Amino acid sequence: MRRILVTGANKGIGHAIAERILEEPDDTFVFLGSRDLGRGEAAAEKIRAGGPGRAERLQVVELDVSSDASVQAAAKVIADASGDDGLYGIVNNAGIGIGIADLDPVLQVNVRGIHRVCTALIPRLSAGGRVVNVTSAAGPMFVAKCGPDQQRSFTRNDITWAEIDALMNDSVALAGDAAAFASRGLSDGSPYGLSKACANALTIHLARENPQLVVNACTPGFIATDLTQSYLGGRTAADAGMKTPREGAASALFLLFGQPEGSGHYYGSDAVRSPLDRYRSPGDPPHTGE
């Protein structure tokens, strides 16, 4: 049984990823991570009702990725449920940030949350297991506006967690001061863009530290979710050029079950390898550099 944890799976893209995993051959099993247990159970009921044979392949796990205690408790639930079989994959989907001005909570979820979950659960992944970090094109677009030294820092193959952690701590101290961020080559310090750039850098670090696994990041694309409602301005999602959460699950599903090019890379919403320091439009040629 290929057991997979999906964080932030009670709605939006995470819910769609969980649902689509269970549409794979019946050797898949989903731990549906949800910060609120009741909302997680409600989401699970919708998935169970979507097709036969799903009920026994789905378990809700209460999981707040911003809390060390919650992550540790969830890891124990998953360990007890999976036993010696361990995990096949982790999809770090939980995220916040669009429209949030306070940097620290955004980093706590979008970056430190990935680190907490991976620290707790990577030891349970079998060799060849997959880690998929759902980030955003906002990451490469943020890096593109940074100074040369910071651009190199975000994309270095030898970046360490200590360096990412220090950058986040320094950034929190500067939060709200766009001029201070600019003077350090960090664009305007956009909480969402900075967090996703850090999450992509963390992906590089995790891949290097876990060569027995396949660790990659991806953007789901411009998706109609609670996070993107502010962009509609009275338009429909289709008129705004947004895709559905189900469509947004495509790149994560490819990284879980397909054949990505190695580990430590970032993929576009079309499941094609993309650069970390600039935006690549879906349909453009794949990125082939480091």
The mean pLDDT value for 125-151 works out to 97
Q: How many CB atoms lie within 10 A of CB 45?
A: 13
Name the 3-class secondary structure at 60: strand
- 3-state secondary structure labels for all residues of 115-178: HHHHHHHHHHEEEEEEEEEECCCHHHHHHHCCCHHHHHHHHCCCCCHHHHHHHHHHHHHHCCCH
Between the CA of residue 144 and those of 123, 200, 279, what are the distances in Å?
34, 14, 8
CB contact at 8 A, 32 and 59: yes
CB contact at 8 A, 32 and 43: yes
| pLDDT for res 22 | 96
What value does the CA radius of gyration of the chain take, rounded to a whole number of Å? 18
Per-residue pLDDT tens digits for 47-82 = 999 888 899 999 999 999 999 999 999 999 999 999
Q: What is the pTM of this model?
A: 0.94
Lowest mean pLDDT among 57-66, 119-128, 217-226, 246-255: 217-226
| More confident position, 76 or 223 | 76
Angle at which helix 191-209 crosses helix 161-174, to 10 degrees, equals: 170
Lowest mean pLDDT among 54-68, 102-116, 180-194, 237-251: 237-251
| pLDDT for res 137 | 96
Amino acid at 285: P
| pLDDT for res 233 | 63
Residue tagged 């001061």 (tokens): 177
Q: Please give the share of the chain, as a percent, with pLDDT higher than 70.
A: 95
Between the CA of residue 184 and those of 58, 144, 167, what are the distances in Å?
46, 14, 11
Half-sphere exposure of 138 (CA within 13 A, CB side): 23
Mean pLDDT of the chain: 94
CA 160 to chain centre: 19
CA 119 to chain centre: 15
| More confident position, 223 or 167 | 167
Whether the per-residue pLDDT at 121 is higher than 80: the answer is yes
Per-residue pLDDT tens digits for 230-278 = 656 667 666 567 788 899 999 999 999 999 999 999 999 999 999 999 9
Residue ranges of alpha helices (H) inside the chain are 12-21, 37-48, 68-82, 103-110, 112-121, 138-144, 148-155, 161-174, 178-183, 191-209, 245-248, 250-257
